[in-house]
């Protein structure tokens, strides 16, 4: 089967940086036509962000394959009118402005719905479209902090653990945007009308804490507030944690179930540690300290060999480029090379996790690369395009390689 599930779906992407572009990358990888609407002077901010290769942002490259680019000045009357005409031919719109920005431009949901009643309008913002902080600036770290996720990670009595990855942007923003968009598309099959999808990255980040926070609410007065580093899955159990090795590397020990922890203790010749492995007080701390001492006696390679074939939920913490060489990830096809004829070189792509057919690997667009084509599809004449002063870059032919 050579077709992709979202083939024929048209997405208009006004978002920038990470949350919206990753969501639309997933849609594009699944076959949707995704067209980025960018301002003429610079476009998506991430185009200028390092690291750069031959003057082009690697961050932009990794997030924007399989998309087209059209430039429009939405602050101009001509740009706004052209945008309204564009909207008529699309199924989904994604934007990531602060609440109210599109209304100030004269392009809010009500205006666009008048142009296209079937439009799914997805707005991704830090704190959502409602509430006292709806207009507040923020970044991923702020959303994780407000959601309680930061406070739940780290050593007991110590500082919160810096996450290192964008949980709010991807988990709270991109993925819930995708859920909302696909749910709204399913609803549209029944009602014939689109809907507004309000995605708060802070709300979405709370989802990472759902099991623990929901249990806390269920316990009511009989329960206790969540505590950093003292509970079963955040460092409280000796059988579930990170342990350093002699060579400065780390092991992720996830021997949570008794059968796994018993197997670990047996492999270490220390069955005496088993009884207190699930204690979160002093006895458990002693087991944790003893495990830390044992693992620190040998390098990572020793422990990998020692636990080879045991299936005890123990894995090395991969560092840097080791992830790209991991045989399981390679076997799953996450890393794929393709020729980029536009740039004259082969590039390695990191695919999105859900693959339901041959993933297209068209290179990301230069700014305004497809302006004429996209606007012509919307019915604008060459004369009308002249008034828009669109960017029409000179580029070589697109690569049509697929994995």
Q: Which domains does the chain have, with CATH numbers?
A: 10-207+362-387 (3.40.50.10540), 241-317 (3.30.1540.10)
Cα dist from 201 to 60, 125, 143, whole Å: 21, 6, 7
Within 13 Å and on the Cβ side, how many CA atoms surround 133? 12
DSSP, res 254: E
Annotated catalytic residue within 29, 35, 140, 169: 169
Helix axes 175-191 and 19-29, enclosed angle (nearest 10): 60
Phi, psi of 224 (to 5 degrees): -130, 155
Cα dist from 68 to 65, 252, 296, 391, whole Å: 9, 41, 52, 13
Supply the pLDDT for residue 387: 80
Supply the pLDDT for residue 206: 98
Q: What is the 3-state secondary structure (H, E, C) of 75-107?
A: CCHHHHHHHHHHHCCCCEEEECCCCCHHHHCCC
Q: pTM, whole model, 2 decimals?
A: 0.94
Supply the pLDDT for residue 400: 41
Supply the pLDDT for residue 386: 87
- Whether residue 401 lies in the annotated active site: no
115-138 tens-digit pLDDT:
999 999 999 999 999 999 999 999
- Whether residue 35 lies in the annotated active site: no
Where the chain has pLDDT below 70, the residues are 1, 389-403
Annotated catalytic residue within 133, 139, 326, 387: 139
26-37 tens-digit pLDDT:
999 999 999 999
Q: What sign does the CA torsion over 8, 9, 14, 17 have?
A: negative
């Amino acid at each position: 089967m050579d077709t992709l599930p979202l083939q024929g779906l048209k997405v208009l992407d006004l978002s920038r940086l990470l949350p919206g572009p990753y969501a639309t990358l997933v849609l594009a990888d699944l076959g949707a036509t995704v067209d980025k609407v960018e301002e003429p002077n610079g476009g998506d901010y991430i185009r200028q962000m390092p690291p750069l290769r031959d003057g082009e942002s690697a961050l932009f490259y990794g997030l924007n394959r399989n998309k087209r680019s059209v430039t429009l000045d939405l602050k101009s009357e001509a740009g706004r009118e052209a945008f309204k005409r564009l909207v008529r031919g699309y199924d989904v719109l994604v934007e990531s402005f602060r609440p109210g920005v599109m209304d100030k431009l004269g392009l809010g949901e009500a205006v666009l719905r008048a142009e296209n009643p079937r439009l799914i309008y997805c707005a991704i913002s830090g704190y959502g479209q409602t509430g006292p902080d709806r207009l507040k600036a923020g970044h991923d770290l702020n959303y994780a902090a407000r959601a309680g996720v930061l406070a739940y990670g780290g050593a007991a009595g110590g500082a919160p653990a810096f996450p290192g990855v964008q949980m709010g942007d991807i988990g709270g923003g991109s993925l819930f945007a995708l859920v909302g968009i696909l749910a709204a598309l399913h609803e549209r099959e029944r009602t014939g009308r689109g809907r507004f999808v309000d995605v708060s990255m802070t709300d979405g980040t709370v989802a990472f804490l759902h099991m623990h926070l929901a249990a806390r609410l269920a316990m009511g007065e009989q329960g206790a507030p969540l505590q950093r580093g003292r509970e079963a899955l955040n460092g409280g159990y000796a059988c579930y944690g990170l342990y350093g090795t002699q060579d400065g590397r780390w092991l992720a020990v996830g021997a949570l179930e008794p059968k796994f922890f018993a197997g670990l203790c047996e492999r270490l010749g220390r069955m005496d540690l088993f009884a207190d492995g699930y204690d979160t007080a002093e006895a458990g701390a002693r087991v944790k300290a003893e495990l830390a001492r044992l693992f620190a006696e040998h390098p990572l390679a020793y422990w990998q060999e020692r636990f080879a074939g045991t299936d005890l939920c123990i894995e090395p913490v991969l560092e840097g480029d080791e992830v790209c060489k991991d045989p399981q990830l390679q076997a799953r096809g996450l890393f794929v090379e393709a020729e980029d004829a536009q740039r004259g070189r082969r590039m390695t792509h990191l695919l999105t996790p859900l693959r339901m057919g041959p993933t297209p690997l068209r290179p990301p667009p230069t700014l305004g690369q497809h302006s004429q084509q996209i606007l012509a599809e919307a019915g604008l004449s060459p004369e009308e395009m002249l008034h828009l002063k669109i960017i029409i870059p000179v580029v070589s032919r697109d690569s049509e390689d697929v994995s």
